[in-house]
């Protein structure tokens, strides 16, 4: 298999209208969007029916599936290919919440496979921007039981049980399957998750979808069996911000993420890593260089480095902040 054709790959995002969406993806991140209330930009996706396409170069128009089928472990990494075959394991999104999202929960791998023939959904959020007073819901603030939870839900008082976090840019949260969560109004974030679109909506503020004139569907019968009712001492992830090094963010069984603040030139050597790499620019701009070819990356954009590309350089003179993601 000839892997010499592979190079750093940018994909054409897929934009999703959402009842809670805003206009920051278009106005602040300069994404090429027609229409309003675009809540999600799917940057790198192998979800069936929503496959992103390579934007430029010899491989323009390729899906992730086609790249994997053609380049196999050269694209994914040997261990990733052995575990996932022709399926790409991650989904990368940028989310703009002008209004609060529904309160929701995702199933883990076992339940998702049994019920939906899908991966489960473990995810993380990196807050890119947050308006004054912006909040997230993550987990519970007091110990509760299934019976108490269902009673509060029935009365429309479920918010009484939930942990609300004030947020600012550069905050990070890991959302394992089973953890109740919701993005609040005024938040722009990068989301890294397993390739899954399975969401159980449990509370939606009685909102009516304009296109149907009906309230959005809830999934409480499915949700109650997967919710983790435990409380935890901390929901936010702490991390270092040392320049020109990979600072650990979230290292889970499903993906690993680091924070890199690039100042000047940073040479990266991935010889010992058996995985593709994704860089997500969360602030500033930079240039990724491979084989002396430049690939520009600005805030809100992502680039995928195939596994066979072991050495790249990152250049920035304006402190570019990147998320470095791999499996």
* Catalytic residue ranges: 201
How far is it, in rounded angstroms, from Cα 107 to Cα 178? 6
Q: Which backbone phi and psi does 84 adopt, to 5 degrees?
A: -115, -10
- Tokens in use for 119? 């991966």
Report the C-alpha gap between 3 and 15 in whole angstroms. Answer: 31
Q: Smallest Cα–Cα separation from 203: which of 187, 186, 228, 224? A: 224
| Helices (runs of H) and strands (runs of E) counted in the chain | 7, 24
Instruction: Say how far apart CA 38 and CA 26 lie, in whole Å.
Output: 8
Per-residue DSSP letters for 238-296? P----BTS-EEEEE-SS-EEEEEEEEEEEEEE-TT--S-EEEEEEESEEEEEETTEEEE
* Residue 6, phi then psi, degrees to nearest 5: -65, 145
CA 178 vs CA 5, 152, 171, 190, 199: distances in Å: 41, 18, 21, 20, 11
Say how far residue 16 (Cα) sits from the centre of its chain: 14
């Amino acid at each position: 298999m000839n892997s010499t054709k592979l190079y750093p790959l940018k994909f054409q995002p897929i934009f999703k209208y959402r009842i809670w969406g805003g206009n920051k993806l278009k106005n602040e991140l300069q994404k090429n969007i027609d229409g309003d209330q675009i809540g999600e930009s799917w940057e790198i996706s192998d979800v069936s029916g929503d496959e992103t396409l390579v934007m430029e170069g010899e491989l323009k128009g390729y899906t992730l599936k086609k790249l994997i089928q053609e380049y196999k472990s050269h694209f994914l990494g040997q261990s990733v290919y052995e575990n996932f075959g022709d399926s790409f394991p991650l989904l990368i999104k940028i989310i703009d919440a002008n209004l609060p999202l529904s309160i929701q929960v995702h199933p883990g791998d076992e339940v998702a496979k049994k019920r939906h023939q899908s991966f489960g959904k473990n995810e993380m959020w990196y807050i890119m921007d947050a308006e004054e007073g912006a909040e997230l819901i993550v987990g519970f603030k007091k110990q509760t039981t299934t019976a108490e939870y269902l009673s509060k839900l029935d009365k429309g008082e479920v918010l009484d049980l939930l942990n609300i976090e004030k947020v600012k840019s550069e905050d990070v949260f890991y959302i394992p399957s089973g953890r109740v969560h919701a993005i609040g109004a005024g938040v722009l974030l990068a989301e890294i998750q397993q390739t899954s679109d399975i969401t159980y909506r449990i509370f939606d503020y009685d909102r009516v979808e304009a296109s149907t004139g009906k309230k959005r569907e809830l999934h409480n019968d499915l949700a109650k069996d997967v919710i983790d009712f435990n409380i935890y001492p901390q929901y936010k992830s702490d991390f270092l911000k040392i320049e020109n090094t990979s600072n650990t963010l979230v290292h889970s069984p499903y993906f690993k993420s680091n924070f890199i603040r690039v100042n000047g030139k940073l040479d990266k050597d991935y010889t010992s890593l058996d995985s593709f790499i994704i860089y997500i620019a969360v602030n500033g701009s930079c240039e990724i260089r491979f084989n002396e070819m430049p690939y520009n990356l600005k805030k809100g954009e992502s680039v995928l480095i195939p596994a066979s590309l072991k050495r790249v350089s990152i250049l920035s003179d304006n402190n570019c902040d990147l998320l470095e993601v791999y499996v």
